[in-house]
Structure 1
Amino acid sequence: MAFYHYRGKNLQGKMKKGKLEGSSKDEVMEILKSRNITVLELKKLNSIWHKEIYIKSPISSKDFVLLLREFSTLIEAGIPIIDAVHILIQQTTSKPLSKVLNSIKELLSEGVSLSEAFNKYPKFFPLLLVQMTRVGEVSGNLDVILDQMATYYEKQYELKQKVKTALAYPLLVSLFSIVVSFILLVFIVPVFEDLFRSYDQELPLYTKMVLQASEIGKKLIWFLPVMIFIVIGFLIFLDQNSKLAYRFDYLTLKIPIIGPFLTKIHLTRMSQTLGSLLHHAVPILQAIQTTENVVQNRVIKKILHESYQAVEKGESMTTVMRQTSFIPPLIMEMIAVGERTRSLDQMLYKLSTFYEKEIDDVANKLKALLEPFLILFLAGIVGVIMLAVVIPMFQMFEFM
């Protein structure tokens, strides 16, 4: 994908200029043609300098949900879409969002539909929202769809918060343990090293081991920046290598205690997304394909992809799911019942509600189990290092 600067005229003869992203000049020309713009000049830009880079998501989950709620309310009140966008521009405090909404307003004034306008900005408006907006435009209940999508993304945000609550504490304590141990080994233990060398008596084995670990730590500190670059490089390589990335996701789901918890999270997201799409009469093949794009874990993606192929051949989704160990029997049976009774959307909704409660319970249990273990682990590491320093000193005082 590259960026192109264009200059042209619309049907009213008004000059238009701006920047568009596309895979080729022909694609950009087609986009501008669909907007009824006659191109006078089209020039490729350096994508490195013109690409908009966001360190984090350009819009927070809370702001995104609020945006959809306000948009839904304005349309329900009978305000035209383009005027509703104008009101949202005035209300938003986010500069990136304000810029995007201004562009959407311009696209709407040129006759582009709201779903197509959303589709131009995937960093702000996910594919699922684009497709559901298209459904709302066709059915004439766009306000209802936007409100329901706000509820959907609100649930997704709550799901993320539950994950953070369950995993943040163990990760922070583990990181703190590593940092404290590293500081003790690299900066505190060496202070006593010369003193121990002058000690004629044999040092305890664990003291020798700690001193050896201190020497290794002092050498590793110079390789720390290199190790960081290696980790970043590995993550980039992992993202580009589909087979390795699949294997990594597979092993993640196999981690004791954590793996089943993450599996429940991915299955909840799958059930919420697929159920929401089917509830709004999106064809099942399109719904499965969209859900595949929304789910992040590649193992679940593969299951959905194979389910798509099975349904395309006239088979049941459960024919694929029964061949994997990651889909619990409850989900398979509920989906099978939903397919037979043509109430798959309702079954998926019940599944997502059930697993939301499961995630709450597991999150609380994880915190209760890991908290004392991690505290003991941290105390044990610090205690071993301190004893390795303190005990030889006491022995030295005894011989004085």
Structure 2
Amino acid sequence: MRYQAKVMTVASTIEEIEFDSGSETEARHFVESSGVRLLSLKQLRGRWNQTADSASFNLTVFNQQLYSLLDAGQPIVDAIQVLGLNDKRGKHRGIYDALLLSLRQGHQLSDAMAGLPSVFPQLYVAMVRSSETTGTVRASIKRFMQYQYQVDGIRAKLKAAMTYPLILLSVGFLVISFLLFYVVPRFSIVFEDVSSPNQTSMGFVQLWGGFVRHHSLWAWSGLVMVVFVLTTIIFHPGIRTWISRTILKIPVIGERVWVLQLARLYRTLSMLLHSGVSVLTAMKMTEASLSDTMKGRLHTAAIAVSEGHAMSKVMSECELSTEVAQRLLLAGESSGNLDEMMERIADFYDQEVAMWIDAAGRIIEPVLMVGIGLIVGVIVLMLYSPIFDLANAV
């Protein structure tokens, strides 16, 4: 969200600044942490260029730059200051100023990040906080970069697999809409005066074409409604959650989606455990990044682990592991390398999902092409069949 604040600077001048923030409370924290006095704050709405002007804070780039500076021997305060100066356009100056003020007041980096929850995820803050006690902040940042890279890799593969089918569906929808709302009504005018009981192929063309010509407002309103419903299904969080739950119930697809979620679960747990976070704390933190179905099962598993049950047994009973995962968890418990075993489980699941995505893409794309081609072919056949009937009648 984009906010506009009127502030009084140290030089007693009144200025207006615009910045991005996750909430009004965080926006106030941004301004007050910058060493100025907040006079008024309002959220900007309805700007046509709001999306372009308010690019979200790129945590991946921030991590890469921060790691490079720390690896070069820069202190944390100096590194944050350099990153703030590097923000030439000043879009995220409030974030860097808030971090710098908190650090200069004697707070740890994790405490400074915890004050900006919409910028720094809870998992990231917990990882940094654990590494501060051992002096391995730089190593933890590098570990989180690797975690992001692996998660983004699977996400990119999913997006790449979905891109071509979505293009096919979009083009197919446009072509079919053009035929139904432009071509068919004009063909129906030609057949209107020559139809006969023997020419049944004209039925749909005349019926639909006449409806569009005589009730164009209703027809186009229906098309707009279809587009609106599809857009709502894609972007509405509640509907997307319901669709996700429904997909999990589909025999083959649901199993693959579940494996994908398991990979994210074990990779997150592995990263937190490797950073020094306790098992129970890691399980509780990981809940926030999971779907509702998996979140409830992980919560049940955390309670069982707190009661002293073995994690390998608990994860199996809560249906949060497969046979391979259970074997690796048993090995991790016996050797004390639970974080390493969880990373291996995540890698195994990621490979399995990647192979399934490639196989599914090779099947879905031709099926969509054939399906769209058949629909377009049927419509074109209904348009030209009456012409053939008229030619035979003559």
TM score, norm. by length of structure 1: 0.79
Q: CA deviation at 1:398?
A: 3.0
Q: CA deviation at 1:237?
A: 7.5
- Percent of aligned pairs sharing the same letter: 23
SS at match of 1:96: coil
> Partner of 1:90 in structure 2?
85
Pick from 371, 376, 382: which aligns with 2:370?
376
Give yes or no for the alignment of 1:58 onto 2:56.
yes
Taking only aligned residues, the RMSD between alpha carbons, in angstroms, comes to 4.2
Supply the distance in 2 between the matched residues of 1:229 and 1:220 (Cα, whole angstroms): 14
Pick from 335, 339, 354: which aligns with 1:345?
339
Asked whether the equivalents of residues 185 and 208 of structure 2 are also in contact (C-alpha less than 8 Å), the reply is no
Deviations 1:115-138 (A, max 9, x none): 122223333322211111112222
Q: CA deviation at 1:199?
A: 1.9
1:16-165 matches, cutoff 5 A? 45-46=41-42, 58-60=56-58, 64-92=59-87, 95-165=90-160
Supply the distance in 2 between the matched residues of 1:216 and 1:320 (Cα, whole angstroms): 61
> Partner of 1:311 in structure 2?
305
Does the C-alpha gap of structure 1 residues 226 and 186 become closer, same or farther in structure 2, counting only changes over 3 Å?
Answer: closer
Asked whether the equivalents of residues 124 and 144 of structure 2 are also in contact (C-alpha less than 8 Å), the reply is yes
Deviations 1:239-286 (A, max 9, x none): 3xxxx8765432122235432332222111111110111112211111
> Partner of 1:191 in structure 2?
186
1:2-21 matches, cutoff 5 A? none
Q: CA deviation at 1:154?
A: 1.2
Supply the distance in 2 between the matched residues of 1:21 and 1:340 (Cα, whole angstroms): 44
> Partner of 1:357 in structure 2?
351
Does the C-alpha gap of structure 1 residues 84 and 313 become closer, same or farther in structure 2, counting only changes over 3 Å?
Answer: same
Asked whether the equivalents of residues 4 and 22 of structure 1 are also in contact (C-alpha less than 8 Å), the reply is no
Give yes or no for the alignment of 1:332 onto 2:326.
yes
SS at match of 1:380: helix
Asked whether the equivalents of residues 4 and 21 of structure 1 are also in contact (C-alpha less than 8 Å), the reply is no
Does the C-alpha gap of structure 1 residues 233 and 181 become closer, same or farther in structure 2, counting only changes over 3 Å?
Answer: closer
In the alignment, structure 2 segments of 5+ residues that lack a partner are none
Q: CA deviation at 1:335?
A: 2.7
Aligned residue identity for 2:56: P
Supply the distance in 2 between the matched residues of 1:342 and 1:211 (Cα, whole angstroms): 75
Aligned residue identity for 1:58: S
SS at match of 1:315: coil
Does the C-alpha gap of structure 1 residues 385 and 95 become closer, same or farther in structure 2, counting only changes over 3 Å?
Answer: farther
Q: CA deviation at 1:349?
A: 0.8
1:225-244 matches, cutoff 5 A? 225-226=224-225, 239=238
Does the C-alpha gap of structure 1 residues 211 and 231 become closer, same or farther in structure 2, counting only changes over 3 Å?
Answer: same
Supply the distance in 1 between the matched residues of 2:194 and 2:40 (Cα, whole angstroms): 73
Supply the distance in 2 between the matched residues of 1:212 and 1:336 (Cα, whole angstroms): 67
SS at match of 1:140: coil
Supply the distance in 1 between the matched residues of 2:131 and 2:199 (Cα, whole angstroms): 74
> Partner of 1:279 in structure 2?
274
Does the C-alpha gap of structure 1 residues 236 and 356 become closer, same or farther in structure 2, counting only changes over 3 Å?
Answer: closer
Supply the distance in 2 between the matched residues of 1:277 and 1:78 (Cα, whole angstroms): 25
> Partner of 1:182 in structure 2?
177
Comparing 72-81 and 96-105, the one that deviates more: 96-105
Aligned residue identity for 2:308: G
> Partner of 1:222 in structure 2?
221
Q: CA deviation at 1:204?
A: 5.7
Aligned residue identity for 2:194: Y
* Count of residue correspondences: 384
Q: CA deviation at 1:235?
A: 7.7
In the alignment, structure 1 segments of 5+ residues that lack a partner are none
TM score, norm. by length of structure 2: 0.80
Deviations 1:69-118 (A, max 9, x none): 22122123221111111222333466434442233223322333221222
> Partner of 2:260 in structure 1?
265
Supply the distance in 1 between the matched residues of 2:43 and 2:81 (Cα, whole angstroms): 30
Aligned residue identity for 1:359: V
Comparing 279-288 and 104-113, the one that deviates more: 104-113
Aligned residue identity for 1:339: E
SS at match of 1:201: coil
Give yes or no for the alignment of 1:172 onto 2:170.
no
> Partner of 1:392 in structure 2?
386
Aligned residue identity for 1:392: P
Deviations 1:282-339 (A, max 9, x none): 11111011111122x2222222111112112222345554455674332234334433
Give yes or no for the alignment of 1:288 onto 2:283.
yes
Comparing 390-399 and 252-261, the one that deviates more: 252-261
